[in-house]
Structure 1
Amino acid sequence: MGLFSRQPKDIDSSPERDEVAVHGKPLENHEKGRWERSWPTIACGAGLFSDGYLNGVIGQVNTILSSLYSTQYTHSSAQSNVNAIAFAGTVVGQLFFGYTSDHYSRKWSLMASTIILFIFAALSAGSYGGGSINGMLSALTAWRFLLGIGIGGEYPAGSVACAESTGELKQGHRNRWFIMFTNVQIDIGFVASTLAPMIVVLACTENHLRAAWRICLGLGVIPPLSLLYLRLKLNEPEEFNRECMKNTRTPWLLVLRFYWFRLTVVSLIWFIYDFSAYSFSIYSSSWISIILGDSAPLWKSFGWNTLVNFFYLPGAISGAFISDWIGPKKALSIFVALQGIVGFIMAGCYAQLATSAHVAGFVVVYGVFLSLGEAGPGDNIGLVASKTSATAIRGQYYAIAAAFGKIGAFVGTYVFPVIQKNAPGGADSTRGGQDPFFVSSSLCILSALIAWFLLPEINQDTITYEDLRFREYLENHGWDTRQMGSKDYQMRSEESVDQAMGMQGEKPVEKV
């Protein structure tokens, strides 16, 4: 069977009949109240707020540390290490928890990542290192790496469980709620990561910045703690109980033959998006410096950064609804293409936009650019990654794609300054501002083409149909799918079969 030879929509029967026939009962349980069906989605996905806050706040902390320790900090390796080390930890966490979420438990993988988050967020805030500045910065770097592992765990464990939990929600609304409690949470975290430092610096004043940066990091303890009780009450998603391979050996050769191409496509799109999205912070700092100059207080700089991050929200929130209306594939393709077009316009007009006379126009156009990115790949790449694979290997599939995204972000933060530096006239020239936009916009168009022509269509029941497709593939290659499912689910299935056979023995089956 080829990779795209049978899409979920081609399965020959109705959704309701297939779901009952294969799994025993439909996921959408109308006997449950709205809150009963919604809170698992919230509990699984909302932890990504921590990712947005803890990844974003380190930029403001870097600014405070640079102000406090001047050349001792900026001329050391600590400045780049503190920024970058969490990316490395996140990739490790994504891959590790991707494995545990498939082979052990979605719930307990989530609990472990939550505990790691609040422990190392607290330790980061209390970084000491023996009392010396270098020791303190080394401790902060180490805690940030371990914190990144917890952040990484939120991606495969939280997002895939969130996607599976949306199966109990009303059809036509599933994509929006997944997005609202994954990507929108990350973006709200980004806004909070600049708003909170602005308030803290105003409250502490610039005479007490040593306390301010520790408070900013310490606030990162609150989001994971707030979800701890909800996550403790979670049950494993029903789809996971039905389809997991935790009690058998995963047939990796068959999995790779079935999914390698699709995973490559999803990973490439995520790499391209994060390569651009995380790297464009260089532009926010450039126009903020135009507006404020060199003598502005820190809180004003943080306030303007809050405005930059706020631009993500309109696109993310509206894109959540659009994803339900036209589907994730079309939404991703259309909006990333539009983002590329706006990027080319900004590159062409950069000489006029990046001046104090037209800085307001630059801010608005740049905001549109960011919003389009969120409405497209920002909202939908995680949705695509969590719904284009079978439940049995979804955590690892998602983790690999998300890890490529983080690697793209890491590479972009280093490549974009090199592009600027090597432009004719240097980083401060017009070409130094234009060239990154040309590169990023070209990649946006490439990403749109890849998504449009190589991604499958994703509908409201794709998770169920993808599991059917994967089971059929395994059975066609001689693998016994009766090994799938948790032990509890296997026992319940055997009991159901025994009961059905007993009933048939007691009462003849009538022919219609």
Structure 2
Amino acid sequence: MAATTTYMAIFAAAFGLLSDGYHNNLMTMTNVVFKRLYPSGYTTSVSTRVSNALLVGEIIGQVLLGLICDRIGRKAGLVLTTLLIVVGATLCTAAYGAHEDPYTLFWLMTIGRGITGVGTGGEYPASSVSAIEAIHERSAENRASVYILVTDFPLVIGGPLTASVFLIVLSALGQGRLGAVWSVCFGVGMVFPLAVFAFRMRMLSSKLYSDSAIKRRVPYTLAIRKYWRALLGTCGAWMIFDFIYYPNAIFSATIISSVTANRDLRSVAEWQLLLGIIALPGVFIGILLCNYLGRRNTASFQMILGFSGYVIFGLIIGLAYERLVKIMPLFVIFYGLMASMGNLGPGNMTLVVSAESYPTSIRGTCFGLSAALGKTGAAIGTQVFTPIQDSLGQKWTFIVAAIFGILGMLVTYFFVPDKRGLDLACEDEEFLKYLSENGWDGVVGDRGGEIATSGDPKSSDLL
């Protein structure tokens, strides 16, 4: 890519993932609004269904768009994700129950959130692999640091951004028009993907993709045989992280609303904004650690460090819950520090290792699969969050987070690969050599004319 095109590809990836961060956090305050507008209709099962619709859609989008990015092209994936987000957000914005029937409204919301989820889920492989390849062309030495800035940072800033938009819209419309407030907030979610749509229609493939793409007869069996351990690491660590992170993010405003003396919506949103801001420094500390510690072993160390934060702060909040909730600022600070440690470690590094551990020809597929297992963990965590809270008490949601933090440390130590010192092109060459040695014969390269390997293909290795 030319320099201008490369920088625009990086910028477009950041905006795409900002859209994902925004939509992931939209239900945080919307859950509180719906509980006030429909106290009998917005039951626990309905709340879980609407919240999980995005996560289920994201799982589908991550797998599907990961395959499309590899087998059709990065551009096709990026354009499709934009269209899906816009369609889904439009349906949510326009959702309306006839005669104020909440049943119809919440099913329309479920469908709209599901479609949005396919788009935002697709942004993970589409934007992330495009970003890592573009950054590699321009700044290989600072690849991980820049990559975190344009991937995890937009995802994390979606929390305070959503709270800020909610506060602005609430101030403009007033608490007497809560139906219009949540609708406008969903409509704002269309702005981010539309802002970069024109560029995405004109973007070019990276040199890495042009040189190394495999669009037909993809040797998935051989790929799994070579990268099974890396897949266990990236899928397992991401799944555990999202199991902890997403329920605590989605239901954080509900938790704050239940423990604060002042349950005014504006007050809840302000506490939510503070919680999101406290979680941000973890991203930048993680970037500094990348630069300070050097390339080797940084990923696994940071991930273990981040998971240990869930153990420490999860136990502190859980064991001292009754006393902490009486001191609201201290409760929010500890809650935010727990999230910040997550961002410092697995929040940053699951993205990095999932992008750097695989060759270009299957990067989108493996990244999408890792992210999809992550969102599966998020969906499970969201599903069990309320039952844990109802049967064991609110404090046990934090203690369970601490327990899974220990599990995340173990999975990271034994399975997460650390290849940050490796040139991405070298990984491509090693993979092609491996394919050749195992008898695969196929066409390599986006231009469609480069025969990279020869031998007798095994039908079980092709698709």
Match of 2:460 in 1: none
Tell me the TM-score normalized by structure 1. 0.82
Aligned CA RMSD, in angstroms, stands at 2.3
Please give the secondary structure, in 2, of the residue aligned with 1:456: coil
Pair 1:471-2:403 in alignment: no
Match of 2:241 in 1: 273
Pair 1:410-2:379 in alignment: yes
Q: Which amino acid aligns with 2:429?
A: L
Structure 2 counterpart of 1:323, from 255, 266, 290: 290
Aligned pair count? 446
Pair 1:249-2:214 in alignment: no
- Write out per-residue CA displacement over residues 470-503 of structure 1, whole angstroms, 9 at most, x where no aligned residue: 112112112236x211125639x9xxxxxxxxxx
Q: Distance in 1 between matches of 2:21 and 2:93?
A: 17
Deviation at 1:454, TM superposition (A): 2.5
Match of 2:81 in 1: 113
Q: Percent identity?
A: 28
Deviation at 1:410, TM superposition (A): 1.1
Match of 2:51 in 1: 83
Q: Distance in 2 between matches of 1:258 and 1:474?
A: 10
Q: Which amino acid aligns with 2:314?
A: G
Match of 2:456 in 1: none
C-alpha contact 1:384 1:458 (8 A) present in aligned 2: yes
Please give the secondary structure, in 2, of the residue aligned with 1:478: coil
Match of 1:19 in 2: none
- Write out per-residue CA displacement over residues 301-332 of structure 1, whole angstroms, 9 at most, x where no aligned residue: 11211111222211112212323433323222
Please give the secondary structure, in 2, of the residue aligned with 1:280: helix
Q: Which amino acid aligns with 1:484?
A: V
Structure 2 counterpart of 1:304, from 271, 275, 282: 271
C-alpha contact 2:48 2:383 (8 A) present in aligned 1: no
Structure 1 counterpart of 2:312, from 341, 344, 358: 341
Match of 1:392 in 2: 361
C-alpha contact 2:69 2:125 (8 A) present in aligned 1: yes
Q: Distance in 2 between matches of 1:179 and 1:408?
A: 22
Match of 1:507 in 2: none
Deviation at 1:344, TM superposition (A): 2.9
Q: Which amino acid aligns with 1:487?
A: R
Mean alpha-carbon deviation: is it higher for 54-63 or for 397-406?
Answer: 54-63
Match of 2:71 in 1: 103
Deviation at 1:132, TM superposition (A): 4.8
Pair 1:163-2:126 in alignment: no
Alignment of 1:111-260 (within 5 A): 111-128=79-96, 130=98, 132-133=100-101, 134-246=103-215, 248-260=216-228
Q: Distance in 2 between matches of 1:456 and 1:240?
A: 22
Q: Distance in 2 between matches of 1:257 and 1:179?
A: 29
Q: Distance in 2 between matches of 1:369 and 1:269?
A: 17
- Write out per-residue CA displacement over residues 28-82 of structure 1, whole angstroms, 9 at most, x where no aligned residue: x9xx65x5543322212431111111121123223223322331x2248543322
What residue ranges of structure 2 are gaps of 5+ in the alignment? 453-463
Pair 1:372-2:341 in alignment: yes
Alpha carbons of 1:204 and 1:489: their partners in 2 closer, same or farther (altered >3 Å)? farther
Match of 2:458 in 1: none
Alpha carbons of 1:454 and 1:462: their partners in 2 closer, same or farther (altered >3 Å)? farther
Q: Which amino acid aligns with 1:372?
A: M
Deviation at 1:185, TM superposition (A): 0.3
Q: Which amino acid aligns with 1:158?
A: S
- Write out per-residue CA displacement over residues 395-444 of structure 1, whole angstroms, 9 at most, x where no aligned residue: 11111111111111111122233333443xxx2xxxx51x3333322322
Q: Which amino acid aligns with 1:335?
A: G
Q: Distance in 1 between matches of 2:317 and 2:47?
A: 30
Q: Distance in 2 between matches of 1:457 and 1:449?
A: 15
Alignment of 1:20-31 (within 5 A): none
What residue ranges of structure 1 are gaps of 5+ in the alignment? 1-28, 494-512
Q: Distance in 2 between matches of 1:231 and 1:325?
A: 35
Pair 1:486-2:446 in alignment: yes
Q: Which amino acid aligns with 1:345?
A: I
Q: Distance in 1 between matches of 2:422 and 2:197?
A: 30
Alpha carbons of 1:107 and 1:289: their partners in 2 closer, same or farther (altered >3 Å)? same
C-alpha contact 1:323 1:380 (8 A) present in aligned 2: no
**Rg larger for:** 1
Deviation at 1:462, TM superposition (A): 4.2
C-alpha contact 2:25 2:159 (8 A) present in aligned 1: yes
Q: Distance in 2 between matches of 1:287 and 1:146?
A: 29
Q: Distance in 2 between matches of 1:141 and 1:349?
A: 36
Alpha carbons of 1:141 and 1:437: their partners in 2 closer, same or farther (altered >3 Å)? closer
Alpha carbons of 1:67 and 1:258: their partners in 2 closer, same or farther (altered >3 Å)? same
Alpha carbons of 1:344 and 1:180: their partners in 2 closer, same or farther (altered >3 Å)? same
Match of 1:458 in 2: 419
Q: Which amino acid aligns with 1:157?
A: A
Mean alpha-carbon deviation: is it higher for 453-462 or for 361-370?
Answer: 453-462
